[in-house]
Amino acid sequence: MAVTKIWPVRGDLGRPINYVVDHEKTENPRYCRNDLQALTDVIDYAADSEKTDRRFFVSAINCNVTCARDQFMMVKKKYDKEGGIVAFHAYQSFAAGEVTPKQCHDIGVAIAKELWGDRFQVVVTTHLNTDCFHNHFVLNSVSYKDGKRYRGSLTTYKEMREVSDRLCREHGLSVVEHPNEKETEPLYVAQQRKDGAPTRYNLARAAIDEAIRTSCDMYDFEYNLKQMGYITQFDEKRKYWTVIPKGYSKPIRLAKLGNDYTNERIYERVMANDAPVRFIAFYSSREKPRQYKLESRKDKIKRAKGLRGLYLKLCYELGYLPKYKQNPNRVHYLLKDELMYCEKYSQQARLLGKNDISSQEQLIVYRQEKEVLTEQLTADRDQLRKEIRRNIPEEMRNQKKEQITAITERLRDLRKEIKLCIDIEERSPVIEEKLRRIEEERNRERSER
């Protein structure tokens, strides 16, 4: 199946062109560069020489590959439109093993001719350096025919996908069926979710799932979300329902969370619950009475002082301690942004505890010691690298290489520790202020009860 995308390019026009025509990516892997150069003069006279698979898979429409950048710029100068978006870069990628290099390139050229061939200059290349063969397109942003700028990359994306799917079907290839039925969250959020980071999107997703499990109707559902600190907007006349997490101002469209979070689907999921669901959720969530009040981990953490105590309290609030798990949606709204850095805070807490660091002064001294050690080890490694360049026995050279490897690993650990120390120095006042505000809010809530 083919995947397509298009985006604008600003700045240096030569960079995208140089990238897409990179010979190491477009060269047929069955023939080396020397073979191609030796054959070029012989086969150039052939009428079909451009079709042979011994050539690089590079084509140009309304321009020449060897001077495409200059021709692009000539058109821009002619119509006095050298600024702004200089080109559009698009790609079309196929599944591994689905197409041959020639078939991939032919489909790419056909797409370029159909979409842009009547008014624009286009460079089409096929990259063969990965298992998934893929086409790149560089499109001049100014038409050589009338001097008008190319508009509407979003519209073109839809057209490009439709043309690509049609050509794939004509060649007996698979296509992505129902391409809109997928999560539409932003790319950076999708990557954070893939890495396991608790973003506000997947926190909202978890909160909605929890609210649905304990709701018998939409009134219950809205109430449960409000109890978790969400501002809701579920007006039936609205096309998209939204929620705003406490501490944020920008709403989240629930439809962006996936197919199970559209207005209709949420209503179906809530109404599918039966009456006992609320009682079961209430019964299972009740705290078990304690017969004896024993000292808890929270009590021990409260006694910890200084920087170590500060970071232990932070990890406890975030639910990131061994044998302790906090529901991310129950984390105080002032700490929601810190959830994405739980692993880093845990490493910093271990660093402070392991080295018995409780003040900023001790932290600075520790960091400076590590920086001095880093400089010494770097100098030692440089000296070893000079020595292995000399004419020395192979056994001694291997020994020194092992020493270099050991020093490099030690330097990597030291630099991580230095980075953690610098971050503690910068972030600890902010964290301390947040924890102070949280404690004040909790004390105020207890006094108002």
- Output 165-168 pairs: Cβ under 8 A, ≥24 positions apart: 165/2, 167/107, 167/110, 167/111, 168/1, 168/2, 168/107
Residue 234 backbone phi and psi in degrees, to 5: -115, 35
C-alpha R_g of the chain: 31
Q: Indicate whether this model's pTM tops 0.75.
A: no
Sheet of 58-61, strand order: 2-10, 85-94, 134-140, 122-127, 58-61
Rounded-to-integer distance, Cα 253 and Cα 239, Å: 10
Is there a contact between 257 and 208 (Cβ–Cβ < 8 Å)?
yes
Rounded-to-integer distance, Cα 271 and Cα 290, Å: 37
Short-list 125, 170, 119, CA closest to 142: 119
Q: Which residues contact 295 (CB under 8 A, 6 or more apart)?
A: none
Residue type, 194: K
Each residue's pLDDT expressed in tens, for the chain with a length of 449 residues = 456 666 666 655 555 566 555 555 545 444 344 433 332 332 233 223 343 343 467 888 999 888 888 888 899 889 988 877 888 888 888 888 888 888 888 999 999 899 888 999 998 988 887 778 888 888 888 999 989 888 765 456 778 888 888 888 888 887 766 555 444 555 555 555 555 566 778 788 888 888 888 888 888 888 888 888 888 888 878 888 998 887 778 888 888 888 888 888 888 888 877 655 655 555 555 455 555 555 566 667 777 788 888 888 888 888 777 666 666 667 777 887 787 788 888 888 889 988 988 899 999 999 999 999 999 999 999 999 999 888 888 899 899 999 999 999 999 999 999 999 999 999 899 988 988 888 888 888 788 76
C-alpha distances out from residue 176 to 21, 98, 126, 163, Å:
28, 14, 21, 13
CA geometry: angle at 253 spanning 260 and 341, to 5°?
Answer: 90
Rounded-to-integer distance, Cα 167 and Cα 175, Å: 10
Q: Which residues contact 145 (CB under 8 A, 6 or more apart)?
A: 118, 119
Domains and their CATH numbers in the chain: 2-170 (3.30.930.30), 187-285 (no CATH), 297-448 (no CATH)
